[in-house]
Structures are given as structure tokens and as C-alpha cells.
Amino acid sequence: MQRTQASLSQDAVTIARQWDVDSVWFGARSLSAIRAPNQFRLSFFSPHTSNISTAQVIQPHGLDLAHTRHTIIGTFTTAGVRFSVLMFFPSGAPSQTRASTNSLSLARFRDLYDEIILPAVRETVPIHVRQEIPGSYDLIYAKSRAYQEKPGAGRWSAEDESRSYRLAYGIPASVLPQFWAAVVRNANRHRLQSKKGDAVPYFQNPRLLFQAHDLKNMFASESLQDSLCLFRDSILAGLDPSQIDMHSCWLDVGMRDHVLMPPTSSNSESQNHHHHEPWTLLWKSDCCRHLHDQVVGVAPEAPMEATYYRPYLLRDIGGYYVRAKSTRKSNPGHPEARSPGVIRAKAYNCSKELFGVMFSDYQLFSSGFLPLLAFDEGMLKDLAATDQSRQRAFVSQLSRSRILDAWDANKRHMRAVSSLKRQSDFGIRKEVTLRLDVILAMWVGGRLEPNQSPHTGPMCWEVPLAPPPPPPPPPPSSLSSSPSSPSPPIVGEEQHWPFWVIPTQMLTAFVSAQAARFILPLDHIFSEVTTASSADRSTSPPDPARQMLAFYTAQLFCRLLIHAVSSEREYSFDNWIWKSTWQVKCRSPRSDRRKERRGLGLGDSIRTSGTLWIPDGHINWQTGHISLELLVNIYMSRSPLQAKLAHQANVQALATNQVTIELLFQRLVRNARAEYDRGRNGDAEILADRAVALAVEEIARAYHQHFLAKLHSYWDRLRGKVGRQKLPVLDMLQQAQEESAAETGRIPTAQAVHGIYAEAWDKYRQVTADDDSNGDINTSSSSLRSALPEELPCWMNTRRRLPPKNSWSAFLFDQIFCRPKPPTWNALFFLQLYRGFKKFWQDTCAQLGPFDGRFSRQIGYYIQIAFNCDHTKEVGTSHAQGTWYHAKPSFFQIQYWAPYFSPPRTQEMTSLSSIYRLRSYPEGLSPRSTPLIPSPRNFHDIESAAWPHWVEIMHHSRHDDLDRLPFECRNSIRRHCKRALFYTSYLAGPTWGLDKDVNFIVPWSIDNASRDSSSEWDVFRVPVAETHISKTIFEDTVSQPTILLPTRDTIIGLLDAIKILTGHSSSITKRLSWTKRRLNNQGDQYDLPSHLAARHREVGPSTESQSLLERFLHQREPPEWDVEPVDEQEAEETEETAEEDNSSSGEDNDDDDLEDIGLNDLGSYIGFVS
């Protein structure tokens, strides 16, 4: 890794310079700018990937190219240079930056072709040309998709290069003036109908842009003047200058310096060529910053945004890119800007071609999928399911074997570079973007002639490589006579070279060695999983926690590997790699506080040693991953360069929601088995119960997320049919999804689904109310009112499971988890999770009893609503002809199962004194008094009576100010509160009292013994069809689910809502306070759960008692720390801080003359004087 000048084979090299023109943009006024004999080729359905999708400094015709709708309408070739012709529509709706959105929709393409271009073709193009061009949009579309006419063909095959595939048709230059005039006339005349009914001139005043790229070798010459002469004689000669807006034209002018090959005679040419050593020039990083100072000095009034690159993880090698920033005072890229300036410049090393790929959107080792090889196939599928919100049995098309093939292909590429026998010379390049009229003015003024500007002419100079010899010591006489005389100049210091000169073979060996430092450990990480997943089943795969650590380590090494083989900038989302600490602003716009984040600080190593050396302690090489002491405190930002599947949010969700839970479950089960083996059966049962409770709740959590995501997909499907602008998202559904995803997730119930359907029906009714009577809504029915139709939601009931065999838990277990035959939806995530827990239980502690025995008795307490499903369909629907559901959207046809509440009879013999120990009791009550417990039928009647009052109270408490309502409305709300308070006392739990007066009340008690006993004691039961309820079971059976379940969330939530609605009488206020005191339960859940709490209980211990691994896996968000406000000028800019607004008030300089001093400064810069 160390080389000195003594190892070089030559003492000096000769450097030569070549000038060129690389890219060209012409803002044309008309297609008539194309002169004969050139031919314009009209094309249709050009790929949107060819559109301009990134923000551009240049603004032909004053257009923001990336945000203006446009499409490529054809190409033409002049003097061997192929230009693309882009058509812009300034009057169209502004678009986003992605190429797919700033193109046209199919509907707009239909308008463009049928109403504008094709009529112009029929009007102006000769018949012998016109006969080849399709006559309609439909025919063009059919030709563009002709591959679909072959069975099994999903795309064009490689041999399909016909004209009908390319959809490009030649139009002679002689008819282009008439053709373009007809296009403009049709575009200005055409109008679109907006959603508001307005006529919109979408295509009015279209603009043209000709662009060509990668021309540097075509116009390469020894002087800038010669390159411009070639450009003039080839390109400009093929265009009509009167049809070109010179203020809307830009050129990329550049130069390349490279080591000149020594001259050879014809006799010894091959021999000398064999002995010539290839050399590579590399920009010095400090000189790139000096270059920026030069660029800024050309036009100081134009602010510039500079980006610096660091090739191959080397401190002293650099790259540079700068672009002008538009402000109110200065906008150099606009055609009306009159002060000359460099609007874009870059300096880069040509050696990037050695390690680069021929396509601009490819980069060696750059795929964001590569770190996923640290996961086995199972973990990869789990991550894919997390990315898909687990709403279906998702099967990722990206398998681990395909990612492994990509990894091997990248290594093959690297091996080909490192084993290259014949190296090439690589130079350096500078390039600037200048407006064409500025270049022509300088050219005409003679400022680009070599006799006036020698730096623009042929240049060739010798660069010494050997260190200069030490100067001879001065004679003694001179020392004595003039002790203060200056020493002679040192040879080699008179000329500064802004580049390094090294042999290409040495550079290749160094970069290959750098890459190997990361490829080898990555190979080891990936091969561990590959070996464990091979046919040899004797080796168990790495546990999930180890795979998670390996993934983060692979993520680090893959990013470093990209930097090692290419020229990369330091992105803000890589701060965790380069910085030890950094600060960001809080996202709240009113907050001046900041957050501190921590990283690995590897940038310090590069700054001190010149290249990357990973400090001791950063990597635990024995275990093969980043040190946990560091990893637990690192803020790893979400990177847009990662694959969507490997986004930080997905990986972190996988770690907290699955890996952590599996580790906790496995630890509890192992501990239970250990206690059982020691003969401590009581302790073993406690641990087993905790393990099963955790498994039950996590499986229920997965089902909740799947259930709600499925509902979302059905509603989204309806939005797609009706119109996403008309039919909005459901707020209650979105809220339910967010609450379910929390650590103590809320359990979805029939009440939640009822609220979702009330909102959905109201929004759907508003959208379709204007439809005719044959639509989805019968306009004469009561459904036009805000009330939800009684058919919604579509509740199911049973005819087979009659009491006491209608236990909800047993039914749910049989319906979803233990079907006689595996259903087609057997690969859903929550079922995989269930099978994983069950298998580990059976393998570890089967002696404590079967897993299903415990699971089937508890699952019904945590899954309280489910889809009606069968063997083939996971979501059943009701759509029989003649029913209300016929012809309704599928969202309103979904069938649901939900239980009704059967008050536990175990509390019937509870004495009052066991609950309330008092010296005296109200008249009629004694210490031995037993409570009143309603039958399931009576409970249902009370709940049905309370429901409308609950709806009114909740609506007004959230939306209305009671004091501003009319007197009659306030009285009505108070009556609702009074009745709801009365019903709540009987719903919340057993009561003690006389007549209708409730003196004592406690929440329903459902102890573990009741849960684990026979299904006959289940408090949740499956509704039974009314036709199958006999007199003997009438009081114990209900045909509808319970909407208002007596959970603490429901009861206390209602009491809080009543309290918000002020103006109650003193008796109601007193009764409200008394009821809330009796039912508050110290803030804990009732025995009837409304939230999932097992995860919080198990993860609950403080971080001091957790291991570093547990702390890391439990992190739901990257760690960050609050810090005191700091001075804005001292704070570092980060990705969260807003970009500086450099715009300031002022007027543009309207002087049309180019100042001489500006041209002189620009000419000096073009010469790249160091």
C-alpha cells in the first residue's frame, strides 16, 4: 500500500491537451431549423425514460425542463450527430421530477396524436410518405403493443427492430416548415375539458429543444478554435440559424489532459509500444477547491452550488461539480440573462471508465439489494411481507439466488479489471457549460485564438517525476560576504501541477486491493448463510439476531465498497459512516432545538491517514459484525440508494416486530423447559403461560395488520374505479392501522369496523348520489341519509354451533388456524408466525402440553373480528342476486365474523364484602349480597339501547362546541348523556343495588382459570342465526355481535366524552364522578383486553437490565439525543434542515451588451489556468 517516486520507471512524462465539444442543447423556433438533405424522423410513444427528469440549470425558452410536460417527437441526424427532438408544453400542468410524471398520460397522447400531429401529417406531408404513418392513436397504440399478439410474449424480442416497433417515420426537410406550422396551429386551437368544466389550452404554444450528447471524441482537436470550427462546419451548417434562438442554446466545452505516448518509428513501433508504460492522471482534491474559486470569480453575482467527490477512498484525489443557483437577482440559465458566466462546470478523472459500467444508471456493486444476502430465504420473505404490509401471501420475485448471481457478476467484473494485462492511459477532464452566443461573441472577438490566448491552443509540456536534486552548497566566500542573500530557487517549484501522475497498473492494483478489503468479509458473511441453507441440514442456519447484525455490517461494507471502486460524494444519509456526531434541526418549524446523532466517524481516519483504515474496536472480527457498543448508538438514516425492500424502516420493523419477539419467546420457552427439568412445575407453568400469551398476542397483531391492510386494499380498489380525487382515504381506517402498529396495539373490534363502514358509506354516498337510479345507490331509499344501512357491515352467524358449543375462541381456531385441509391462503404471514411458534414449542417443551391446547383457548380474546373464509377464499363476500348486496362494490360485500359478549357466570356468587369492605351498607344490601349479572340476551338489549346514545355523544364531543349549539340541541345531548350513563353501569360489570339504583359496581373479571377452562365458560361466543335459537337457549344466545364491548377503553372513553359536554345537572355530574371512580381501575386494562400488552410487559425492563443485543433489536427508531440550541452559523447542514434561500430582492441587469471584462475573465477560465 506504499509507493515512492523511486519506484517509477521514468523521470518525466509529457502531457498533451485536447479540446472538444461534448453536449449540445438548441432551443429551436421551428422544425424548419433542420436543413436538407437532413431528414426528420417522426416517432411515437418514445420511452419516458428518455425524458429530462432531473433539475437543469439551462432553461431553453425560459422553461423549467424537469417540471414541464414534454415528450420526444422524433430525431434527426446532421453530419453524423444524432439529435433528439423534444416537444414541451408550457401550458400543461406542472409535473414532478420523475421522468414518468413529466411525460404525458395516454389520454393526453391521444389528444396530441389524433388532434394535433396526425392532422398536420395529413395536411402537409406528401402521400408517398404519409401512407407509411399510422392514421390514428388507436393504430399507433396497437402497433406499439404488437408483441402482446403472440402468446406468452411480455415484451419485444431482441430481433424485433422493424419500423413498426420503433414507430419512427421519415419526413423530408422540405415540408417541415408547413408541418410545424400546422402542428402549432392545431395545438393552439385544441382545448381540454378540466374537472371544473373549464376549457384548458393544454398544448398551446409548444416549444422545441434539440439535444445531443457524448460528442467529445467527434470534435476532439488540439486547440479550442479547431474544435469549434469542426462544430461549426458539421452541426451549425446543417441548421438554419434564423430558426434557432441563440439565447436558448448551450454547449459543453471541455478539455482533456493525458500523458503523451512517445513518438515511434515504423521499424520499432510495436517494440516501443510494448515498452510504453500506461499512466493515469488524477485531480488533486485541493486543486478542485481552487478551481471552484476560479469559477465563482467569473461571475461573483451568481451563487454557485459545489459538490466535491472523493475517488477510491483517497483523501488527496478529488472530483468536482458545480452549478449556478437561480435567485431573484441572478438567473444565468435563463435566455434573458445578459451577463456572461459559467452555469455549470465539472472536473473528473477519466479513469472512472476503468471501473465504471457503460450505462450511466449502473455502478459497480451499487445495487441496494446486495446487503440482503446476509439474510436467508426465510428472513428475506419475511422482509418482503413486511414491505407489503402483510395483506396477502406475498411471494417476492426477487429470490436470494438471484441476488447471489448479481453479487457474483459484480465480482466477475472486478476480477476482470484487476487481472487486466494491457492497461490504458487515462487523463483528466474539465468541462464548462456556456451559452452559444457567449462563445460566438468570444470567437468573433478573437479571444479564443491561440495567439491571443495561448492556453486555448495546442499545449504540450513535460512534467518531472523524479525528485529534484538538492541545490549545491554555496561557496564559503558567499556565506561570509552576504549571509542574508536569498537562496537560489528550487527546481520544480516554479510550476504547480494540479494533478497526480501514477502508473495505471499501480492504480489498478491499489483499487483492487481496496475492494478486496470489503469483498472478502462480505463473501464470508454471505457464504455463512449460503452454507447453512445448503442441502446439508445438519448445520442450522444463523439465528435471526445474528443475521440482523450481519445485515447492518454488510450494509456498511457495501457502501464502502462503492466508494472504494468509484468517485463518490459524501451524502448526508451516509453521515452515520463518516461522522462521529452531527446535529440536525427538529422537524417542528417553531422549534429551535436540535438533535444530536452519532455515527462511526470513519471520515476522521481518511483525513488523518490519507485513506480508510477502520479503527480498532469498530468491528468485532471474531463475530464478524459491527461492534454492538457502537451499533446500539448509531443513527442509520434511510438511504434512497438502497433497494425499497432494504429500506431502514422495513428492516427495523422486521427486527422489532419479529426477530425480537422470536428471541423473547424462545428464551421464555427454554427457561420453562429448564424449570420443568428441575422439577419446579409451578415456575415452569408461569413461564409457559407468559410465552403463550406473547405468542398469542403477536399472532393476533399480525392478523390485525393483515386484516386492516386487506380492508385498505379493497377500499383503494374502489377508489381506483370511482376516482381517487373524488373518493378520499378513510380516516378511521388509517387511524386503526396506526393504532394497531403501536407497541401496545389496539385490538380491532366490531365497533371499529362499524365506524369504518359508517365513514366509507357516507363518502361513497356523497360521490354517487348524483348517479341515476341504476347506479350503486337507490336514491329513493333511506340510505341517502347519513345513517348506515342495516345491512352494513355484513355480519355472519352460525347454524351449526349452538350453545354451549359456540365458543368464539374454538370457532376462530378452527376457522383460521386449524382447517381440515390447508387453504389456498395458507402462506399468509400470521399463519407462518403461528406455525413457527408452534414448532419451537413442540421441539423444546412438549412435556408441558400441546401448544394448540393453550393457544386455541386464548386467541379469541385478542382477535375479535375476522373475515368469513373458506378453503379457496380468504375474504368471503355476499353478492347473491336479489339481495341488498347485489351489484354493490366488493368493499360493501365483505362478510365478517365477530363475537357477542356473554357475561361470565363465575361472578354470580361473589359477595359484596369481598369487593367493598364497609362498616355499613345501604338499606337492602348486606355483606353477603350477590351481584346482578345480566344474561347474554339482556346484555345485548342494554348494549343495543346504549349504542345510539354512544354515537351521538362521541360525535358531539369531537366536533361541536356545546355552548354554541341551540338550546333544544343541548337538551337533547344532555338526555343522551343521562341515558348513556345509566346503561353504562349495567354494561361495565356486575352491579349491586335495589330496583334500578346501582350502589356498587366492578369491572368484569375474567381470570386465567376461566380462560383456560372448558369452552363452555368462554365470554365471547359466535352469533347464532335467529331461526335456530330455541326457547331453551334463548337467554344465552344472540344473533348479532356486540358492538360496545365492556373494555376499559370503551367505558372510560364514554365517561370522558360525557364529561367534556358541559352543562349537566348536579346529580348527573355527581353520578358521573362516582361511576368513573368505581371503574377507573388505576388506569390498567380490564380483564377484557382492548390493547396488546404482552410485548410491552416482556420488553418493559429498563435498558440497564438488557443486553446490548436486546437494546439494539428493541429499537423502533434510530437513537438521537436532545441538545441545547446552538448558533445557526455553527450548526452543520444536514438532510433535515431546509436549504438556504439565496434569493434576494433586486432587478436583473438588462444591459444587452456583453462586458469586455466579463469576456476576458471567462476566456481565462476556459483556458483552465492554474
Using the predicted structure, report yes or no on whether residue 801 has a pLDDT greater than 50: yes
622-636 tens-digit pLDDT? 888 898 888 888 888
Rounded CA-CA distance 1150/331 in Å is 12
pLDDT value of position 1080: 84
pLDDT value of position 590: 64
The pLDDT-based confidence of 448 (bands split at 50, 70, 90) is confident
Q: How far is CA 614 from the centre of its chain?
A: 30
Domain range summary for the chain, segments of one domain joined by +: 25-147+164-212, 932-1086
Helix, strand, coil percent content, the chain, rounded in steps of 5: 45, 15, 40
- The pTM assigned to this predicted structure is 0.73
Mean pLDDT of 69-83: 93
pLDDT value of position 1154: 36
Cell of 1143: 434569493
pLDDT value of position 916: 86
The residue with cell 371544473 is: 196
Single-letter code of the amino acid located at 217: N
- 818-849 residues labelled b (16+ CB within 10 A) or e (exposed): eeeeebebeebbbbbbbebbbebbeeebeebe
Q: Quickly count: other Cβ atoms within 10 Å of residue 358's Cβ.
A: 6
Half-sphere exposure of 957 (CA within 13 A, CB side): 19
Q: Please report which helix (H) or strand (E) contains residue 619, including its range.
A: strand 619-620
Mean pLDDT comparison of 36-40, 531-535, 1160-1164, highest-scoring range: 36-40
The residue with cell 362516582 is: 1074
658-716 tens-digit pLDDT? 677 888 888 899 999 999 999 999 999 999 999 999 999 999 999 999 999 999 999 99
Cell of 881: 342476486
Rounded CA-CA distance 1000/992 in Å is 5
Cell of 235: 452541426
Residues near 1096 by beta carbon (within 8 Å), at least 6 away in sequence: 743, 744
pLDDT value of position 16: 93
In percent, the amount of the chain with pLDDT more than 70 equals: 81
Exposed / middle / buried, residue 920 (Cβ in 10 Å: 0-12, 13-18, 19+): exposed
Using the predicted structure, report yes or no on whether residue 452 has a pLDDT greater than 90: no
Q: How far is CA 437 from the centre of its chain?
A: 43
Least confident of 307-311, 435-439, 1073-1077, 1161-1165: 1161-1165
Residue 711, φ and ψ in degrees, nearest 5: -60, -45
Using the predicted structure, report yes or no on whether residue 1156 has a pLDDT greater than 60: no
Three-class secondary structure assignment of 682-722:
HHHHHHHHHHHHHHHHHHHHHHHHHHHHHHHHHHHHHHHHH
pLDDT value of position 1146: 38
Using the predicted structure, report yes or no on whether residue 779 has a pLDDT greater than 50: no
CB 154 within 8 A of CB 221: no
CB 1091 within 8 A of CB 1049: yes
Residue 555, φ and ψ in degrees, nearest 5: -65, -40
Using the predicted structure, report yes or no on whether residue 309 has a pLDDT greater than 90: yes
pLDDT value of position 268: 47
pLDDT value of position 512: 94
pLDDT value of position 395: 47
233-258 tens-digit pLDDT? 999 999 999 999 999 999 999 999 99
Q: Please report which helix (H) or strand (E) contains residue 21, including its range.
A: strand 12-28
The pLDDT-based confidence of 743 (bands split at 50, 70, 90) is confident
Exposed / middle / buried, residue 1105 (Cβ in 10 Å: 0-12, 13-18, 19+): exposed
CB 640 within 8 A of CB 1135: no
pLDDT value of position 962: 61
CB 767 within 8 A of CB 726: yes
Mean pLDDT of 502-507: 92
Rounded CA-CA distance 691/695 in Å is 6
The pLDDT-based confidence of 475 (bands split at 50, 70, 90) is low
Three-state secondary structure call for residue 612: coil
Least confident of 228-232, 324-328, 1152-1156: 1152-1156
Q: What is the mean pLDDT of the chain?
A: 83
Using the predicted structure, report yes or no on whether residue 829 has a pLDDT greater than 60: yes
CB 66 within 8 A of CB 55: yes
The residues facing 477 across adjacent strands are none
